[in-house]
Amino acid sequence: MADVTEPVTLAEAKLHLRINPGDTSEDSLINDLITAAREFCENYTGKELVGENVVVPKTVKQALLLLIAHWYNNREAVVAANVVPREVELTVRTLLNQHKGWWF
């Protein structure tokens, strides 16, 4: 499989996560989260977010960053009574719904 240029870089993700750029101890995990978030967004919207001439809207980048941060901070299942995961899910879906095919 060819290398993929992700729509969110490791540096952007670390800045969003407020991780010191010099701390490389979790770079592998963060790179995996970037890929997982992109795949989630692609599956949800039905649109590719990598490739030549692909312009990723800022709302999709924000959804990616929200997912990456949520998954980074909650590495296991989150208690259902906690309202924050539901807010993250709703926010991500609201941002991505704008880019689903059925909106056009």
Task: Catalogue all structural domains in the chain, each as residue range(s) with its CATH number.
Answer: 10-103 (1.10.3230)
Which residues lie closer than 8 Å to 65 by C-beta, 6 or more apart?
Answer: 8, 12, 13, 16
Model pTM? Answer: 0.84
pLDDT band for 91, please (50, 70, 90 cuts): confident
pLDDT, mean of residues 15-30 = 97
- Please identify which residue in the block is written with the tokens 């999709």: 60
CB 4 within 8 A of CB 10: no
Pairwise CA distance, residues 96 & 63, whole Å: 7
Pairwise CA distance, residues 72 & 30, whole Å: 7
pLDDT tens digits, one per residue of 27-73: 999 999 999 999 999 999 999 999 999 999 999 999 999 999 999 99
* Confidence at residue 67, expressed as pLDDT on a 0 to 100 scale: 95
